[in-house]
Amino acid sequence: MVEESDGRDGAWTNIRLAAASDAPALAELRYAFRSSVGVVSEDESEFAERCRHWMEERLRQESGPWRCWMAERGQELVGNLWAQLIEKIPNPAVEPERHAYVTNFYVREGERGRGTGSLLLSAALDWCREADVHAVILWPTERSRSLYLRHGFAVREDLLELIIGEK
């Protein structure tokens, strides 16, 4: 666990790995995140139940590919970051045989600019280093791009993406 104060209000931000018991709060945060960036087509309570179940399943698998870090200020969940390990096909070269995919990285609006995102990302990147990950991949927003660049990410021109179902 990481604890750090931003010096503004003296409150501490705690960063920790999520457990299955955190799934209800994480599902609510997921709904807040996705409803803030697009049109919602599912009832909040139905979504929360479906998402809670999915998150509980992933978080119970201690040796599974998913991890989630939570940022808490006092008793309030103010942010989270999910990462998934992706195995690479074995390679005869000497290099790590895993990638990590960072997703659902969200910090509540009132918490932004306090270093919370940086703390979450640092915790996830430390885990990636310990897990012998070759590369971390993600899709940044315009606002988050500078955070990733400060943590050593680089813009790559050699990646392509196809969104199935889009023309």
CATH classification of the domain holding 95: 3.40.630.30
CA dist 16 and 78 (Å) reads: 12
With respect to residue 165, please indicate whether it lies within any of the assigned structural domains: no
Average pLDDT, the chain: 91
pLDDT of residue 165: 83
Q: Are 30 and 44 in contact (CB under 8 A)?
A: no
Q: In terms of DSSP H, where are the helices of the chain?
A: 23-37, 44-60, 116-130, 145-150
pLDDT of residue 161: 84
pLDDT in tens, 103-156: 999 999 999 999 999 999 999 999 999 999 999 999 999 999 999 999 999 999
Number of domains in the chain: 1
With respect to residue 40, please indicate whether it lies within any of the assigned structural domains: yes
With respect to residue 161, please indicate whether it lies within any of the assigned structural domains: no
With respect to residue 28, please indicate whether it lies within any of the assigned structural domains: yes
pLDDT in tens, 88-103: 999 898 888 899 999 9
With respect to residue 69, please indicate whether it lies within any of the assigned structural domains: yes
Lowest mean pLDDT among 21-30, 44-53, 123-132, 156-165: 156-165
Domain span holding position 105 = 2-150
Strand arrangement of the beta sheet that strand 76-87 belongs to: 2-5, 12-17, 66-73, 76-87, 98-107, 135-137
pLDDT band at 23 (very low <50, low <70, confident <90, very high): very high
CA dist 138 and 149 (Å) reads: 12
With respect to residue 13, please indicate whether it lies within any of the assigned structural domains: yes
With respect to residue 156, please indicate whether it lies within any of the assigned structural domains: no
